[in-house]
Amino acid sequence: MTSGKVSLIGAGPGSIAYLTLKGQHLLSQAEVLIYDDLVDPQLLQLVPSNCVQLHVGKRGGSPSTPQDIINLLLVDFCSQGKQVVRLKGGDPFIFGRANPEIGALIAANCHYEVIPGISSALAAPLLAGIPLTDKDLSRCFVVLSAHDPDILDWDAIAKIDTIVILMGGRFLEDIIQNLQEKGRSPSTPIAIIRHCARPEQQVWIGTLGDIVDQITEESLSPTVMVIGDVVKLRNMTTSPSLPLSGKTVIVTRAAEQSSKFSDLLQEQGATVIEMPALEITPPSSWEGLDQAIATLKDFHWLILTSANGVHYFFERLANAGKDTRALAGVKIAVVGKKTAESLKQYGLLADYIPPDFVADSLIEHFPENLSGQKILFPRVETGGREVLVKDLSVVGAEVVEVAAYQSGCPKQINPQAWQVLQEGMADIVTFASSKTVQNFYHLVKVALTSKSKYTPQSLLENVCLASIGPQTSKTCYEAFGRVDVEAQEYTLEGLTAALIQWAKTQN
């Protein structure tokens, strides 16, 4: 039996973008995930589908899982030989309560390791454009937790150039009073940063004398406070030249698929929320595809129109005990740059890719006469476009359609994406296929209650709707009555370029 291990991982300040590579690797191998509040919901999608997930978050003033229970869970699962990930916000060793958990693991002779994370104490000021040190204004800084302000040495704290306070939202007035009593001026600058590294991040700037008036009736959890003259240096933004800085983008995609598109957008400064709008599953029966694979030598062409089609075709090819050599004599046509890239992963290059990467131009530019040619077309089981098959048949080709996969709509909308939409924080929603448009519309419509003042169209009134190409745009018009951005090159790179051009017009 494999020995168990517990990995205590720092999830970072809020966004999945700030998770370490080692943390990501360990999450991908987790058999049990025990996670805190404030971790990005997208992190939960990094674990295997059969991973046991347990939420044990602790929030001030709310019911919480007792620490003793958390310790017992870690020891119990580890003793069963499981690979356990204990996912903590920020860094495990900065107010992360790692010590009692490590103590329990040591006492039970359990293997463990600790993976550092980026603490909000460091990230929140940076993401708000506030440096913690400066050669003139701040030679040092202190980080403290203020959930129990009465036990702190305010005499010593007040003398530090820059003060960073975590977990102090409920005690703001006590903090201000203590600092002023120990000599800090009412004119001392203060910044309060709520929900750092998230799309809903907010920053209030004031002084010890007036900040309370600014945040009356605001919930200050979770927040990071920065007190000191460095607050005057705010707006030293980390990436002012990136064209999508300050834009929150919802990327609709297939569940459990990594998103290269998200990486492209983040490289341009965007905050990305990935929203699964498709569930890709095996077809209801493999019979048709397996039979076609058994007679591959009878086909002249194999047409692949999606990365999913590529994946499932080669999965069944391997299941039949065959490899790419079985395709000797069969030419391959692919639609889409992503499909071509997926094919390359199997060591194959397409014999033909239509211009503009779209199916509509496949027949018009086909490199040879298709009359009498037998074509294998592995495709989505239901809901796919019929135009391609019809056009191939018109020119005399014999098309054998087989179900290679099925695509469906998730049962409910991603909670983080829904919150961003409801609170008006989304700037852009992107669509890379007609089905993502249809499913996104359905998910939003279902999420809106009968008493809601919104419709899917009005909820997105101030949101840019971005499409990868004409067919997707057509579906956008049908669902929402408009499209704001359409890629000139019908690829993810093309859509990124179109969004960059759109962003320039907004400034």
CA angle centred on 31, ends 25 and 35, rounded to 5°: 80
| Plot region of 235 (φ>0 → left; ψ -120 to 50 → alpha; else → beta) | left
Tokens coding 164: 């960073």
Q: Give the rounded distance of the alpha carbon of 484 from its chain centre.
A: 23
300 φ, ψ (degrees, to nearest 5): -95, -35
pLDDT score at 16: 85
Q: Which amino acid is at 93?
A: F
CA distance 467 to 486: 5
pLDDT tens, position by position, 456-498: 999 999 999 999 999 899 999 999 999 999 999 888 899 999 9
In the chain, the N- to C-terminal Cα span, in Å, equals 60
Pairing of strands 141-145, 331-334: unpaired
- Is 236 part of the annotated catalytic residue set? no
CA angle centred on 166, ends 165 and 170, rounded to 5°: 95
Q: Which residues contact 405 (CB under 8 A, 6 or more apart)?
A: 280, 281, 282, 283, 308, 309, 311, 312, 380, 381
CA distance 488 to 408: 28
pLDDT score at 405: 94
pLDDT score at 185: 96
Indicate the helix (H) or strand (E) that contains 377.
Answer: strand 374-380
pLDDT score at 356: 64
User: Catalytic residue among 5, 36, 247, 338, which?
Assistant: 36
pTM, two decimals, is: 0.69
Closest CA to 56 of 42, 67, 47: 67
Identify the segments of the chain with pLDDT beneath 50.
1
CA distance 416 to 406: 26
pLDDT score at 240: 57
Please say whether the beta carbons of 101 and 202 come within 8 A.
Answer: no
Tokens coding 199: 């799309």
CA distance 83 to 167: 31
Q: Which residues contact 357 (CB under 8 A, 6 or more apart)?
A: 335, 336, 337, 489, 490, 491
Q: Which residues contact 249 (CB under 8 A, 6 or more apart)?
A: 265, 270, 271, 272, 273, 426, 427, 428, 429, 430, 499
**DSSP assignment, residue 231?**
G
| Number of CB atoms found within 10 A of residue 88's CB | 27
Q: Which residues contact 184 (CB under 8 A, 6 or more apart)?
A: 158, 208, 227
User: Catalytic residue among 82, 88, 167, 435, which?
Assistant: 167
Q: Can you list the domains of the chain with their CATH numbers?
A: 5-118 (3.40.1010.10), 122-233 (3.30.950.10), 248-280+410-506 (3.40.50.10090), 287-408 (3.40.50.10090)
In whole angstroms, how far apart are CA 339 and each of 1, 20, 235, 359, 383? 40, 29, 42, 12, 19
Tokens coding 444: 């939003």
pLDDT score at 299: 96
pLDDT score at 507: 67
pLDDT score at 108: 96
Q: Give the rounded distance of the alpha carbon of 58 from its chain centre.
A: 23
Tokens coding 60: 């001030």
- Is 425 part of the annotated catalytic residue set? no
Q: Which residues contact 46 (CB under 8 A, 6 or more apart)?
A: 16, 24, 27, 28
pLDDT score at 119: 95
User: Catalytic residue among 37, 58, 174, 484, which?
Assistant: 58
